Amino acid sequence: MRDTRESRLLLVLLISIAFAFITMDIRGGDDSPLDGARDAAASVFGPVEEGMAGAVDPVANAISAVRDSGDRHDRISELERENAELRQQLGSEEHRESRVDQLDELLRTAGAGQYGIVGAQVIAIGAAQGFSWTVTIDAGSEDGIARDMTVLNGDGLVGRVTTVGPGTATVLLANDPDFTVGTRLEDSQELGFATGRGDDTLDVQLLNQQARVEEGDRMVTFGSSDNKPFVPGVPVGEVISVDRTTGDLTRIVQVRPYVTFTQLDLVGVVVEPPRDNPRDSVLPPRPEGPEDQAREEEPEENAEGAVAREGEAEDADGNVADAEETVDADEMVDTEENADADENVGADATEAAGDAAGEDEDDDPATRS
């Protein structure tokens, strides 16, 4: 339609009529004069509206489904994020518990040996330093750490500090082939030198070729001059194999270290050595085995044996007493029989003397006269 004067007048007229109908409908309320026209329009346009709704609803439903799908996707993403956070929290809780246990063991070992330590965490392994068995810790010279300091954890000897930076330090691990530490056996106090093999065992060369050593024997660090690089008394490991060959000036044994070098996390660097040599006091108590239980039960068996022996002794004393009573009774009987025999002999002797005297009187002439 062209924008002419007539079209404008028509538009104004239609708008005026529409306002008039609206005003009449509002004023009429429930008895509006337009109700009949509205009903007629509803009956005419109702089927058309239903048809249009049937045609439009699938599109609307699809749009709604797409909208709901987006909402569901967002909800799923939110739930997955919350699930990941919960998993992370659980993992962090387990990690915290593990760290607490490691810290407790580290403090126990340091307290038993009276070592002054600086705690640190392993933050890198030794690939960056070459082919050596080394780790990097997050403590350095700013924390009081210097070269040739002993490094340990709650299990025992970890290694020694080789290089130091302001905030980090490199530790040469005890299983490195270039690592050597003086050792002392727990009971015999035999000295030796432990050397790394690049795996989970150490070779220990005992100075005494005739040293008595068995599987299960334990050893600690001997200590160095001025406690550098090693302080004394740090647990090293347990003997697992003994070389029985003879003829050498020394003896070789294999030792399984207490520390698992592939699972290092929290460590302690000894910055203050102990005042006194702790010797074997840092070693954990030995677990009770069948031999220990046998030794614990042995005193009871000895006590029972002593009681039995006392009973046997009492029985023997009783038998001896019975024997003595029997001997006494026999002696009394023999004495009485001997006394009776003596009396009989005496009586017989007296009677014989009397008979002899009578015969003498008969033979005596004076008597006969």
| Interval 213-260: pLDDT, tens | 999 999 999 999 999 999 999 999 999 998 866 556 678 899 999 999
Q: Which residues, 6+ apart, have CB-to-CB distance to 177 below 8 Å?
A: 195, 196, 197, 198
Write the pLDDT tens digit of every residue in 91-145. 666 777 888 899 999 999 999 999 999 999 999 987 544 568 999 999 999 999 9
Residue 350 in this model has a pLDDT that exceeds 90: no
- The pTM assigned to this predicted structure is 0.56
Structure tokens at 40: 């007629």
Q: Which of 83-87, 264-268, 308-312 is predicted least confidently?
A: 308-312
- Asked whether the predicted pLDDT for residue 185 surpasses 50, the reply is yes
- Neighbouring C-beta atoms of residue 189, cutoff 10 Å: 12
Task: Calculate the average pLDDT of the chain.
Answer: 75
172, HSE (Cβ side, Cα atoms, 13 Å): 20
